[in-house]
Structures are given as C-alpha cells and as structure tokens.
Structure 1
Amino acid sequence: MKLILTQEVTGLGSSGDTVEVKGGYARNYLLPRGLAMLATRGAEKQVDSLRRARAARDVRSLEEAQAVAGRLSGLNVTLPARSGDGGRLFGRITTADVAAAVTASGGPELDRRRIELPSSIKSLGTHTVTVRVHPEVSVPVTVDVVAG
C-alpha cells in the first residue's frame, strides 16, 4: 500500500516521504494514528509543495542542529538511582530520565524520542547514549548512573 507520511516514523521515514508498506501496517497502525495518508495524485501535489518548503527549512534546521550538537558534545550527565547489592538498579533508566537529566545539567531541552539507548540501563556506572538531534546529526552523551 502506497502512503505519504504526515509525521516522522522511526525506521520508515520523515514527514512528506512516500513509502510502500503492507496493508495491515497501514490500516491498523499508520492511518488510525494519523501518521500517514493514502498516496493520491492530489495528495502527492500537496506533498510536493510541502517538500520544497521543507528543503529550505532543512538548511536552517541543520545549522540549528549543529549548534545544539555543539552544546551537547562532551556533556556528562549524572543520574542518581536506587540500587541493590552489586550495583543492579531497582527498575531502569529510561530515555525520559536521560532527557530530564540533560536539561537539569544545563543542556538543551530534548524530546525523549530523540534519545537512543544502546540497551536497557539497569546497572550503576558509565553508559553512552546517542542523541539524534537531526537525521544527519547524532551526538554521543555520557551518562553516569550513581547510587542515590
């Protein structure tokens, strides 16, 4: 089924992209949530004009993303967490926890969906997470999980 994405969908594309997906994924997930619309001639013309406007905006947003990446690079974030014997956490550190800690440590305010954890953070110590500021700009951030 051919669709036009109305919002960014991780692993599929960004807003305005034309994608081919299976029917069930389109009918049960993308269309009901408003993440995509059917690709018709009229919709493709509308997306074409949006794509031209987005190309001009992307140049500015890339420059802004590089400025944010400059603020994030070299940033060390400390997160206190409750832990048991052996440094194992009660629960885990989530992307929302990391986003709040980055903001609290003087970094820019981040959307939790832009933060990629390599795996679940369930232990004390130093971990590296990746922040996708822009599709072309990613920054590694060091997270120190300490007993709190």
Structure 2
Amino acid sequence: MKVILKETIDTLGIAGSECEVAPGYGRNYLLPQGKAMLATPQNRRIMEQARAKLELQIAKEKKLAEEMAEKIKGVVCKLKAKVREEIYLYGSITTHDIKESLGSQNIGVERRAILLAEPIKETGEYKVPIRLYKDVEPEITVIVEAEEKQDH
C-alpha cells in the first residue's frame, strides 16, 4: 500500500514523502491516526501544494532538535545501583532509569530516543546517544556507581 506521510515517522521517512507500507499498518494505524494519506494523484497534488509549508516545519523541527542537542551534549547521569563482587549489578540499568535521571535534571526525552544497545550490567562510565531527530544524536555520559552498603 502506497501512502504519503503527513508527519515524520522515524522508521518510514520524513513528512511529505511517499512510501510503501504493509496494508494492515496503513489501514489500521497510519490512516486513522492522520499520520498518512493514500497516495492517489489528487492527494499527490495536495501534498505538492503543502510541501513548502512542510519543508518550513521540517526546518523548524531540526533547528529545535539541534538546540536541544546543545543542551543535552555533555550531560552526566549518575546512577547508583546495588552491586555484588564490586562491579556486577543486581539487575541492570535500562533506558527507563536513564529517562528518569534525565527527567530529574529537567531534560525530557522519550524512552525510545535513548539508544542503549543493551542494558548496563556493570559499574563504570558509558556513552549513550540520544536520537532527537534523524541526524541529530548527541551523547550523554552515564556513570553507574555502587550503592553504599549499610552496616547494621
């Protein structure tokens, strides 16, 4: 099923582009949510007329993402976790933990934007990219430290 995107979707493309999607995905998600429209000759003409406005919107989105990247670049998230044998964590640090830590520093990002290849399972310092826009991925530093043990 060919559709024209009304907004940028990471996995498909930027707003205004035409792409092929699975019929069920288009019919059950993209079209009812207003994220896309069928790629018909009439809809193509409508999108051509709206393209200038879309390009302006895309430029604004990218500019906002770049400003956010400057704010995020170099941010350090210090997380404490229970450990065994000095370095191995009980459990792991996930994107959810990183999102919470960023939130406490007044930096709001979506969890899926945090590009953590796999959960962190040892103490140490890690570089984690955050995808704000298609080519805008600043890195933050995540430092995982051992929680202080409490003697009774």
TM-score band, normalised by the shorter chain?
0.7 to 0.9
- Match of 1:55, SS? helix
- Identity of matched residues, %: 29
Equivalent runs, 1:46-65 vs 2, <5 Å: 46-65=46-65
Moved more, 38-47 or 129-138: 38-47
Unaligned 5+ segments in structure 1 are none
Kindly provide the CA deviation profile for residues 36-83 of structure 1, in whole angstroms up to 9, marking residues without a partner as x.
Answer: 443222332333344321211232333322221111111111122334
Q: Which one-letter code corresponds to 1:132 in the other structure?
A: R
Alignment correspondent of 1:20: 20
Alignment correspondent of 2:29: 33
Alignment correspondent of 2:44: 44
Equivalent runs, 1:108-123 vs 2, <5 Å: 108-123=107-122
Decide whether aligned partners of structure 1 residues 90 and 44 sit closer, same or farther in structure 2, where only a CA change above 3 A counts: farther
CA distance in 2, matches of 1:114, 1:50: 28
Contact 2:5 2:14 in 1 (8 A): yes
Residues 1:81 and 2:92 aligned together:
no
TM-score (normalizing by structure 1): 0.77
Q: Which one-letter code corresponds to 1:62 in the other structure?
A: K
Decide whether aligned partners of structure 1 residues 58 and 9 sit closer, same or farther in structure 2, where only a CA change above 3 A counts: closer
More strand by share: 1
Kindly provide the CA deviation profile for residues 116-138 of structure 1, in whole angstroms up to 9, marking residues without a partner as x.
Answer: 11333222221111111222321
After TM superposition, give the deviation of residue 102 of structure 1 in Å. 1.4
Contact 1:31 1:37 in 2 (8 A): no
Kindly provide the CA deviation profile for residues 9-41 of structure 1, in whole angstroms up to 9, marking residues without a partner as x.
Answer: 4332233321124xxxx1333432225443222
- Match of 1:127, SS? strand
Contact 1:116 1:129 in 2 (8 A): yes
Q: Which one-letter code corresponds to 2:145 in the other structure?
A: V
After TM superposition, give the deviation of residue 7 of structure 1 in Å. 4.7
Alignment correspondent of 2:144: 145
CA distance in 2, matches of 1:84, 1:31: 50
Contact 2:10 2:134 in 1 (8 A): no
TM-score (normalizing by structure 2): 0.75
Q: Which one-letter code corresponds to 1:130 in the other structure?
A: P
Alignment correspondent of 1:135: 134
**Higher alpha-carbon Rg:** 2
Moved more, 113-122 or 131-140: 113-122
Unaligned 5+ segments in structure 2 are 148-152
